Amino acid sequence: MNLDEGEEIVENQGSKGYKIKVYRKTLENKKVVKEEVIYDEIYEPVNKIIRRNG
């Protein structure tokens, strides 16, 4: 696709990266006696891509 002079198109909005960690906590008498990670995932950031002419 050809762009006119000074025109730009955003091809990808991009996104922030983030990390998700989910824990399961076991309580006895209102105290944590066991804690385990049940899900741990990292989502890398994605750069915004802008195509320009001029």
Whole-angstrom CA distances from 32 to 20, 21, 25 are 21, 18, 6
What local confidence, expressed as pLDDT, does residue 1 receive?
A: 67
Looking at the structure of the chain, the number of domains it has is 1
Which has the closest alpha carbon to 37: 23, 47, 54, 19? 23
Q: Is residue 46 part of a domain?
A: yes
Q: Is residue 2 part of a domain?
A: no
pLDDT digits over 25-54, tens only? 999 999 999 999 999 999 999 999 998 886
pLDDT digits over 2-14, tens only? 778 888 899 999 9
Boundaries of domain holding 25: 8-52
Q: Is residue 1 part of a domain?
A: no
Q: Is residue 3 part of a domain?
A: no
State the average pLDDT over residues 10-29.
96
